[in-house]
Amino acid sequence: MALTSTQQQMLTLIAEHIRDEGVPPSQAEIARSFGFKGVRAAQYHLEALEAAGAIERVPGRARGIRVCHPVPGGQQVLALSGTAADDPDAVRLPVLGRVAAGEPIGTAIEHDRHLLLDRSLFAPFPDYLLEVHGESMRDEGILEGDLIGVHQTAQADPGQIVIARIDGEITVKRLAIEAGQVRLLPRNGEFAPIVVEPGQEFAIEGLYCGLVRPHRITQRPAHRVRRR
């Protein structure tokens, strides 16, 4: 079923609202956005969108609307299985690049992928995610391909797992400070500690605060779009 111009704009509005607010708009908010006199007109177009397979409505939920297909020009969002955009415990986090669990590697910052996750997976609350490359933190349960939550901070205590920048490259390790010397410790006996030498550029980028594994993640669109 082909969508009318109004229905396409409504689909865009719904996706944009999920992106910005983390929840779909209510029928009253949709009606106000389009200048409808009441929610019945909004309901009519939502029914048409559902019949066309563009959205799914969840019975008994005030904001129970899910976008079923990507909106052209949208931004990919993935979700932990079972996590919905209208879940009050859901958070939307960007995947910003890769982090080494081995020797430090550079990180290519990306902004085209986000994840919708349950906030209870992390402590403290993360600001972004990084994809793990390497096995040096294996005994900590941090494996190749995992997505780790990073709480952005420049402060850390010895013994904490940190995301650190050394000479412009990023790694994840356990922090140790002994006799004033900073060491970054792996959790895999096949890897040697990294000793931060005098004169090296060094900074704490954040604290490790939990992880998710890709096999638990499924596609769920919540796309960056603009209304005309």
Residue among 5, 26, 81, 173 flagged as catalytic: 173
Residue among 26, 81, 120, 136 flagged as catalytic: 136
Q: DSSP string covering the chain, please? A: -PPPHHHHHHHHHHHHHHHHHSSPPPHHHHHHHHT-SSHHHHHHHHHHHHHTTSEEE-TT-TT-EEE-SPPTT--EEEEETT--TT-TTEEEEEEEEEEESSS-B------SEEEEEEGGG-SS--SEEEEEESSTTGGGT--TT-EEEEEE-S---TTSEEEEEETTEEEEEEEEEETTEEEEE-SSTTSPPEE--TT--EEEEEEEEEEE-GGGEEE---------
Active site residue 5: no
Active site residue 37: no
- Residue 221: name the closest of 25, 79, 86, 57 by CA: 79
CA distance 141 to 156: 20
Which residues are part of the catalytic machinery?
Answer: 136, 173
